[in-house]
Structure 1
């Protein structure tokens, strides 16, 4: 499917797309800040708060902070820990105690080289009211929503620890700060911003370069957050050194400074690159290798994609149905507060598996045996 707008067109790699997503895509294509770019929309497309999810584009020297969004650097890390029997009840108890979730942060900061960075301290002072203590204590915390910690079993019975998390509140602060600067640029240049529907943009020489510097540092913060979560679980519960574990890392919301691709709810899938795509908390994750498809912007979907909004899922999915479909997975997180993350809220796994054949070769699909997420 192709959508044509005033300044650009977008190719969409699925026919399963809702009207709100189409409206959001039209809004982008009618925005001059997105001209002169190859725009491709992934199969997990769905409507988002600031931008359509599943969005990719080649970088065109303009930046719109709401495209990458508030969870800068959000992504997934997975670590292979081999064949073993696990006391899942003990693991769940450990994670509840060791990994803050929802709005909670750590009681004291972990040791991490990033926390010694003067650049990070300057960034926090600029965008987060100098609340450096909370930013520091947020490294090693999960967050809420669709963020999770999971154990999966692959087709050879190996266990993988996986976590999906991002830049916590720092990403929100960075996005908000630079979005206000983009609005200032639009007012100065065009005399208003209403026409751009929260996708205000700015050029590299007038705010864009500063945003990229701050975003790059925030991406590293998100990576260190996931790395810390996994290090705590691997070393303190499993007795494994993280550096000795085979790993896969796929980042969802970011600008890749190597291939110059902007991705919002999408992942890099260069030729031979190992990638991980979570489907839902019942069906597990795809492990695949990218094909380096230029027409796909060297990208793949970051997940299955929502088919029900959060409010829609809470209205239509019953708790009984949710509990029943999750019976094969050990979890203490299946309750009314997480119904919006139930498997029924997402597009069918088979659909995503079928649609990614042009951009990735699937190695295997690993199945969850344990899932943890915030119940806030």
Structure 2
């Protein structure tokens, strides 16, 4: 395929205002007018915009013209065509990545709004974007590219205590996890909580957010199901400067969860809106996008950011509730999202970077890459690698489906593994057994150019949902 000459910014200069019309124009010009100069292509497109009625019956240009005909119903508008070939994207740790995840990323790079992409070594098949996929688009946000659990994130708090302290008070730590955390789809905290997130004015901006406020109040400080967890363990810092600490061993509290029912409701609602506004072929419907210049696009962007802040607030409360109950005082914290979309500049171009199960890793940025319920995780510092869109994996990544994992190990076998590794597990299920995940040491070896390891977290007492 010849290189596309036109970019969205060229079309915006001639007042093409929606991503849908821009995408159609870029695709049609690339397919049928690739031998014309950029100036000739823009001249044609400008005339279509100004005199669309002259082109409505044109076999090739009619689809673009229909975008400017206000008399046409939405359903009469044509389906957006994907690019014939996938754009190039960077891949890290290809031997660790299944072919179906790779194919999903290829499909994402056929979207007319896609500009850059990358696959992390923990990548595996997801819905829409693969988990571990990074996709940069031009002025477009893909709700399913962010995912259902908006703002799913990691947070690690360090305390000035050693392993002997944890062993001595193991029963109290275990009971605190049982009594002061709550897991599962409908989980709610039974005691009164306050947080400034609940007073945010954005909750009054849309009907959906107004409806979700009550749920946000009830689920504040709770965790989801699946691979979400709250766990105590020991942190070994190889380099303490980034956290204002000296190298050594510290008690750590690590949590993994997102924006709960609020984020899922936002994701489902705006995915449906996107599908209605952005007509894509069946195999690509999960990639339906919202133009950020549209009302729906702005609503989603505001809602997504509020959900991300709510996820952070949930983590704040998890750490606060446990520390207060146990009389612990935090001395340092590391945290990061890994299901979100950011406005970032890459090679001089402002793009919307979707990280679906990928950790931001800009130069000097700290992040957490967790292991399984028995495997160590890592505190990392980003190197700002351009090929990865300044990203890194968000974990080891699944190598087994949940059903296959349940069929591959028994409860007694899992208990033996936990005993051998000296792990106390509260809740959890066979589908989250360590065998379900890739080897994180191998994953880390595949992304040495992306981050440097400055610390390690060893789990000791792990709380998960009963699934």
Kindly indicate whether residue 57 of structure 2 is the aligned counterpart of residue 57 of structure 1: no
1-side partners of 2:190 and 2:142: how far apart? 35
Report matched runs for 1:203-214 at 5 Å.
Answer: 203-206=291-294, 207-214=296-303
Instruction: Assess if the C-alpha contact under 8 Å between 2:212 and 2:262 holds in 1.
Output: no
Higher relative contact order (CA 8 A, sep 6+): 1
2-side partners of 1:299 and 1:349: how far apart? 16
2-side partners of 1:20 and 1:311: how far apart? 18
Instruction: Give the structure 1 partner of residue 391 of structure 2.
Output: 299
1-side partners of 2:384 and 2:90: how far apart? 17
2-side partners of 1:107 and 1:133: how far apart? 14
Q: Deviations over 1:316-359 (max 9, x none)?
A: 1232332222223442336xx61111111110122112112101
Kindly indicate whether residue 182 of structure 2 is the aligned counterpart of residue 100 of structure 1: yes
TM-score, with structure 1 as normaliser: 0.90
2-side partners of 1:95 and 1:223: how far apart? 19
Deviation, 1:45, is 0.2
Kindly indicate whether residue 278 of structure 2 is the aligned counterpart of residue 197 of structure 1: no
Instruction: Give the structure 2 partner of residue 358 of structure 1.
Output: 449
TM-score, with structure 2 as normaliser: 0.73
Q: Deviations over 1:281-336 (max 9, x none)?
A: 111211121111111111110101101111111111232332222223442336xx
Question: Is the alpha carbon distance of 1:332 and 1:368 closer, same or farther for their aligned partners in structure 2, counting shifts above 3 Å?
Answer: closer
1-side partners of 2:409 and 2:177: how far apart? 27
Instruction: Assess if the C-alpha contact under 8 Å between 2:93 and 2:447 holds in 1.
Output: no
Deviation, 1:131, is 4.5
Instruction: Assess if the C-alpha contact under 8 Å between 1:193 and 1:200 holds in 2.
Output: no
Instruction: Assess if the C-alpha contact under 8 Å between 1:183 and 1:193 holds in 2.
Output: no
Higher CA-based Rg: 2
Instruction: Give the structure 2 partner of residue 288 of structure 1.
Output: 380
2-side partners of 1:201 and 1:109: how far apart? 39
Instruction: Assess if the C-alpha contact under 8 Å between 1:73 and 1:218 holds in 2.
Output: yes
Instruction: Give the structure 1 partner of residue 70 of structure 2.
Output: none
Instruction: Give the structure 2 partner of residue 236 of structure 1.
Output: 325
Q: Deviations over 1:194-219 (max 9, x none)?
A: 24232111222233222111111111
Q: Deviations over 1:241-267 (max 9, x none)?
A: x4xx21101211011235553211011
Instruction: Give the structure 1 partner of residue 411 of structure 2.
Output: 319
Deviation, 1:30, is 2.6
Instruction: Give the structure 1 partner of residue 355 of structure 2.
Output: 263
Kindly indicate whether residue 431 of structure 2 is the aligned counterpart of residue 340 of structure 1: yes
Deviates more, 1:296-305 or 1:133-142: 133-142
Q: Please provide the CA RMSD for this pair.
A: 2.0
Kindly indicate whether residue 126 of structure 2 is the aligned counterpart of residue 126 of structure 1: no
2-side partners of 1:133 and 1:211: how far apart? 19
Deviates more, 1:153-162 or 1:177-186: 153-162
For 1:326, what is the secondary structure of its paired residue? Answer: helix
Kindly indicate whether residue 218 of structure 2 is the aligned counterpart of residue 137 of structure 1: yes
Q: Count how many residue pairs are aligned between Structure 1 and Structure 2.
A: 360
Instruction: Assess if the C-alpha contact under 8 Å between 1:5 and 1:29 holds in 2.
Output: no
Instruction: Give the structure 1 partner of residue 40 of structure 2.
Output: none
Deviates more, 1:21-30 or 1:289-298: 21-30
Instruction: Give the structure 1 partner of residue 230 of structure 2.
Output: 149
1-side partners of 2:204 and 2:159: how far apart? 35
2-side partners of 1:195 and 1:346: how far apart? 28
2-side partners of 1:78 and 1:329: how far apart? 21
For 2:445, what is the secondary structure of its paired residue? Answer: helix
1:88 to 170, 173, 186: 170
2-side partners of 1:204 and 1:210: how far apart? 9
Deviation, 1:109, is 4.9
2-side partners of 1:73 and 1:265: how far apart? 10
Question: Is the alpha carbon distance of 1:162 and 1:343 closer, same or farther for their aligned partners in structure 2, counting shifts above 3 Å?
Answer: same
2-side partners of 1:77 and 1:195: how far apart? 35
Instruction: Give the structure 2 partner of residue 170 of structure 1.
Output: 262
Deviates more, 1:354-363 or 1:112-121: 112-121
Instruction: Give the structure 2 partner of residue 78 of structure 1.
Output: 156
For 2:85, what is the secondary structure of its paired residue? Answer: coil
Instruction: Give the structure 1 partner of residue 200 of structure 2.
Output: 117
For 2:293, what is the secondary structure of its paired residue? Answer: helix
For 1:160, what is the secondary structure of its paired residue? Answer: strand
Instruction: Give the structure 2 partner of residue 221 of structure 1.
Output: 310
2-side partners of 1:131 and 1:205: how far apart? 25
1-side partners of 2:170 and 2:384: how far apart? 38
Structure 1: gaps (5+ residues)? none
